[in-house]
Amino acid sequence: MLHPQTRALLDLIEQKKIPPTHTLSVADARAYYRDRRAVTQPAPPEVAAVRELQMNGPHGPIPMRLYRPLGSSDSASLPVLVYYHGGGWVIGDLDTHDSLCRALCNESGCALVSVDYRLGPEHRFPTAVNDALAAARWVREQATELRLDASRLAVGGDSAGGNLAAVVSIAARDSGDLPIAFQLLIYPATDQHRTAPSHAANGQGYMLTSDTMAYFTGHYITDPAHYKDWRASPLLHTDLSKLPPALVLTAGYDPLRDEGAAYAEALTTAGNRASYLCFERQIHGFITMGKLLDEANTAVTMCAAELRRALVA
């Protein structure tokens, strides 16, 4: 059963005739995504410090934002979560996920670096992957200067960002020079073919539709042959062993639900420590909507607790 608060949100979207993302230009879709956060997101909580960063990535400068949690000292070397925002590889930025990043930072006791990776259609696959991997490697290399503990570095993200975090974890394992302690995968996209049963069951009526998924994928990946590439579809990698411990979180009314569950199962089958949690009454994107959805705040707290357990305790 859909949560009553979530049902009310979907009804409000219909009453207000909010246009679906796939009907908008990319510029308008980005603006809508940025602007609607005032309606659904909690006020950004205070943190101990925020610092704007920039690195020189493989395709040019990559802006980032460093948060340090309340109660931490300026001199403490903190564990860190490198975070990749959601938005279908097409929309979203540092500001759309600012409240979420602050909450995860405070509640986990970890520092957090949010990454403003390049988006499609201006920058097609695998540019976002290259940016995401470069950012994680840069955070490790600059850990001392940033007062971070490189031995306690995690990656995470929601939706497209969860996809990137999963891919970075695999690439880091294969490169051997970027140890990752934990991966936080919030309703990740793991198979670009979009054939799991939940894509049909939840493809209409729950905000993220099949049409919107096709819009995002079409703006990100030029050639459907790339769907088979593990950097686009980490579930299809032939070896998922020896990866960092993971929490995979999904939503019951999300088209991505089944591929998230399948990825958690694949991680476990390959011998990794992986926990799976599904918020059965929720929709894709719910974790940023804590102003309206109580379970969003519960999900943030649970994610933060797992980060704390993996990196701080």
Give mean pLDDT, residues 305-311. 98
Domain boundaries, the chain: 4-312
Judge if the upstream peptide bond of residue 126 is cis by omega within 30 degrees of 0.
Answer: yes
Give mean pLDDT, residues 282-291. 98
Instruction: Examine the residue annotation and report whether 254 is marked as an active-site residue of this protein.
Output: yes
Percent of the chain with pLDDT over 90: 99
- Cβ contacts of 142 within 8 Å, gap of 6 or more: 55, 148
Give mean pLDDT, residues 294-303. 98
Contact present, 110 and 307 (Cβ < 8 Å) = yes
**What 3-state class would DSSP assign to 311?**
helix
- CA 145 → CA 3, 49, 53, 77, 131, distances in Å? 45, 15, 12, 10, 21
Catalytic residue chosen out of the listed positions 93, 98, 254, 258: 254
- CA 226 → CA 89, 134, 157, 266, distances in Å? 15, 21, 22, 21
Whether pTM > 0.95 for this model: the answer is yes
pLDDT digits (tens, 9 = 90+) for 33-79: 999 899 999 999 999 999 999 999 999 999 999 999 999 999 999 99
Catalytic residue chosen out of the listed positions 108, 159, 169, 233: 159
Residue 303 has pLDDT above 80, yes or no: yes
Q: What is the pLDDT of residue 313?
A: 72
Instruction: Examine the residue annotation and report whether 223 is marked as an active-site residue of this protein.
Output: no
Q: How confident is the model at residue 89 (pLDDT cuts 50, 70, 90)?
A: very high
Tell me the CATH architecture of domain 4-312.
3-Layer(aba) Sandwich (3.40)
Instruction: Examine the residue annotation and report whether 284 is marked as an active-site residue of this protein.
Output: yes
DSSP 3-51: -HHHHHHHHHHHHTTPPPGGGS-HHHHHHHHHHTHHHHSPPPPP-SEEE
pLDDT digits (tens, 9 = 90+) for 222-252: 999 999 999 999 999 999 999 999 999 999 9
Catalytic residue chosen out of the listed positions 3, 199, 237, 284: 284
